[in-house]
Structure formats: structure tokens, C-alpha cells
Amino acid sequence: MRLSTLFTKSTKEAPKDELSFNARILIQAGFIDKLAPGVYTYLPFGLLVLKKIENIIREEMNIIGGQEVLMPALTPRQNWEITSRWDSFDALFKLKGFDSKEYALGATHEEVIVPMIRQHAFSYKDFPVYVYQIQTKFRNEKRAKSGLMRGREFIMKDLYSFHMDEDDLENYYQIAQKAYFKIFERCGLLDKTFLTYASGGAFSKFSHEFQTLAESGEDDIYVCRNCSIAINSEIINDMHHQCPNCKSKKLAKERAIEVGNIFKLKDRFTKPFSYVYIDESGKKQPVLMGCYGMGLTRILGTIAETCHDDNGLIWPKEVAPFTVHIVTLNSREAESNNKVKLTSEKIYKELKESKIDVLFDDRETVSTGEKFVEADLIGCPIRLVVSERTLAEDSVEIKKRDEKETELVGLDKVLKYSQ
Ligand code: ATP
Ligand code: MG
């Protein structure tokens, strides 16, 4: 992508009316645009990151047998009445259609998926079933001051699993946990993300959250450093202030962001829909269910909150909008300026042909200082400078975003250093 043709602009100052750090820096760097509290547009850079997160999640969900669907956002009142959530789910956005029909904008999809799967899986031969989607959710959140952390419209991956017995549910629950950690590893959040015991509601003793340490987090968790396990403060009393694994009472209180959660719903939603299967002896049995949520846009915000320095964002490699940011420094002298331009173009083409994601600062009217400031703000992992000075040594200058040192690298080695 060429900065000379990109329609978005970064700004010198962060927006003053935005309270959260993640939204401030992402708006300043040109990744997102704010329409209203909790409602954002994903601009080209932001969308590139979001797509990378989405693809990581999709790959890992497919590996654990998930089959992808896309459910509607418009969901009839009747389904929410069946599960008694029309009145109790207080964040539902409700709207009226014709003929006094009412709808909720999908805030979660148990009410859609259960009656849908029931049409397809009804014999013991049909189980287990794992289905997921990556879709926009709507929630009328009371507080929407945390930028991407708490959207009124946000993107979630929701996986639902359907089982014939509790052992099978438990087994898949463990598999899903591992897949979640794989996702957080690939998103660059593994070392800060803890499996966290949380209240399980009426249906199981615990649910599990995946909490990423961050000062700006909305949750308090108690971390056991020995086991990399945490307990949400809301249930810490029930757990007797003790690590469930090593029983240590040395727990450190930390702020954290819930980036995902998994839940054994058992028959909470299958029962109201009278969803049963026929076992081998022809008897009807309850279908048991698990659900596994993960906020894509919240992960994007969490990376912004936790991966930056005073100069800007520092994207983990696999989710960076671009791996390489080429900065062309203009020369006053026409002949050397031409050489710098031609060499930059050649490198840009070569990297693109090698399927490396490249941002090319080919702008001719922007100063060197501004280009460097912007490269730091945008935060691609590798900055590559082409200038009269570097070309005098048949080289380009390479700098990693998370390191201070620069290095001159021969023109023949640019590809190797850009991977
Ligand atoms: P929270 O306690 O933060 O409100 P939740 O318990 O309501 O989250 P779920 O309904 O299970 O969460 O949603 C699954 C995942 O979706 C969460 O773990 C989080 O990553 C994400 N999520 C939930 N609400 C929002 C929101 N308003 N904005 C962005 N992401 C969200
Ligand atoms: Mg919530």
C-alpha cells in the first residue's frame, strides 16, 4: 500500500474527547474512526489488523473441528421469550418490524443456533457438533468509555458445541482452551494472558475467562505466578483466596481485560427449545452445550493497550497491518533523488512479489522527521529507510520497531531481512 494514495491521515495529536488509550492511539494513527461512543469504523490499517486476527481465529477454530456459519443479526423476539431472556438480557437492542413483530439485534446467538442445529443433529450418529461464526454483535452497553474494549457494536467469534454427555463436553472444553491459548500466542498476547476462573452461573461450578493484564482493564484478577492461572475477583471468596492448582495463597491482584471466555452451558438453552437426541436404544436424551466467545475488536484494542511505547504502536508480527514500512527520504539533488525513488520502487515491488505485506511511504512532500514520527506511530515491525546516504553504501537502513539500533543492510539482502 502506498501512503501517497491512502485516503486516511494520521494526526499530530490524539483526539481530546476520547477517554481510552486504545481508541486515542488507534484514531491518531489512522486505524479507526469514531462515529459515536462504542461505535467505530475500521479504516484500511485497522481492517488489515482485524482481518489478520480473524484469520488466526478461523484457522484455529477449523483445526478443532469448528464449522463456520454466519447467523443473522436480526433475531425474533419469540426466540428470546423461549429462553426467558427478552426481559432479562438488559443490553438487548430491541426494534419493531411490521405487524407488531419485534426483534433484537443479535447480542449473542444461543437463541438462533439451538433451534437451527436441532434441525440437523438429532440422532446419536450426528454428535458431537461444533459450529462457529465471526460476526458483528450489538449490545446496549451502559458504559462505552473504553474504546474498542466495550463497543455497542463489536465483532465476536462465537463457537457452540453440542454433546451427548458431560465427559464429551469436558473433553472438548479442554481442547477449546488450548486453541484459545494458541490464538493469543499468535496475536502476541500469550505472556500476558491468564486462564482465569470465573463464576459458572447456575450450570457449572466455574466458567473460564482469558484475561490479559493491562492497567486499563475493567476486571480485577488474582494471579498465581507459579501456575499462570488467575481467579476473577468476583469469585475470589468462593475460592478461599487460593490457587485452584497449587493451592498457594500468594496471589497478586492485577487489572486485566477479558479477551475471551468459555462456558459449559449444559442444557440451559437446549432444554427451553426441547432439544433432545435419540440414543442407540431409541430413548430421548438431553443435548448438552458449551459456548466459547472471543472478542476480535476487543483483542485489537487490547493489543493497542499493551503493545506500544511513547512514540506509538508496536504490532506483534503476525497481526501487524504490514510487516515492512519502507520510508523513502527525498533528496534535493535531482539525480540522486531519482535513484532513491527508483530503488525504493524496486524494493517495494520485490517485497510484494515475495508476499510480504509492505507499506510504502513514497510521499514527496513530507519531511523526513514527519515520516519517521509516523512510522513509529503506525508501528510496523520493520522500518526500512532508503536514502541518498544509504545508497552511497549500496544499502538500506533497517530498524526493528521494538529495538533502538539501526543496521545498514546490502541491497542484495533486503528480502532476507524483511521476513
Ligand atoms: P464483559 O464481562 O466484558 O461484558 P461478557 O461476559 O459479556 O464480557 P460474552 O458475552 O461472553 O462476554 O462475550 C464473549 C467475548 O466477547 C468477551 O470475552 C469479550 O472478549 C467480547 N465482548 C463482550 N462484550 C463486548 C463489548 N461490549 N465490546 C467488545 N467486545 C466484547
Ligand atoms: Mg458483557
| Domain identity same for 239 and 363 | no
Task: Tell me how far apart the alpha carbons of residues 78 and 85 are, in angstroms, rounded to a whole number.
Answer: 10
Phi, psi (5° rounding) for residue 94?
-110, 145
| Domain identity same for 297 and 335 | no
Cβ–ligand 1 distance for 259 under 6 Å, the answer: yes
Ligand 1 center to 21 CA (angstroms): 19
Task: Tell me how far apart the alpha carbons of residues 86 and 94 are, in angstroms, rounded to a whole number.
Answer: 9
Ligand 2 center to 59 CA (angstroms): 26
pLDDT of residue 239: 86
| Domain identity same for 273 and 143 | yes
* CA-nearest residue, atom 3 of ligand 1: 258
| Domain identity same for 142 and 177 | yes
Average pLDDT of the chain, as a whole number: 96
pLDDT of 204 strictly over 80:
no
Query: 136: which residues sit within 8 A by CB, 6+ positions away?
Result: 73, 153, 154, 155, 156
> Is the pTM value of this prediction over 0.95?
yes
| Domain identity same for 94 and 219 | yes
Residue 100 lies in a domain: yes
Note if the bond before 244 is cis, omega within 30 degrees.
no
Total residues belonging to the chain: 419
Residue 410 lies in a domain: yes
- The ligand that comes nearest to the alpha carbon of residue 91 is 2
| Domain identity same for 334 and 265 | no
| Domain identity same for 263 and 191 | yes
**End position of a domain, from candidates 284, 309, 334:** 309
| Domain identity same for 279 and 334 | no
| Domain identity same for 245 and 327 | no
pLDDT of 201 strictly over 80:
no
Query: How many domains does the chain contain in total?
Result: 2
Cβ–ligand 1 distance for 297 under 6 Å, the answer: yes
Strand order in the sheet with 74-76: 74-76, 102-105, 94-96
Percentage of the chain modeled with pLDDT above 90 = 89
Ligand 2 center to 68 CA (angstroms): 23
pLDDT of residue 99: 85
Q: 395: domain CATH number?
A: 3.40.50.800
* CA-nearest residue, atom 26 of ligand 1: 150
- Domain interval for residue 225: 3-309
| Domain identity same for 72 and 211 | yes
Percentage of the chain modeled with pLDDT above 70 = 100
pLDDT of 263 strictly over 90:
yes
- 204 vs 303, which has greater pLDDT? 303
Q: 146: domain CATH number?
A: 3.30.930.10
The radius of gyration of the chain from alpha carbons, rounded to an integer in Å, stands at 25
Residue 337 lies in a domain: yes
Task: Tell me how far apart the alpha carbons of residues 130 and 137 are, in angstroms, rounded to a whole number.
Answer: 20
| Domain identity same for 183 and 301 | yes
| Domain identity same for 334 and 263 | no
Cβ–ligand 1 distance for 38 under 6 Å, the answer: no
* CA-nearest residue, atom 21 of ligand 1: 295
pLDDT of residue 219: 96
pLDDT of 203 strictly over 80:
no
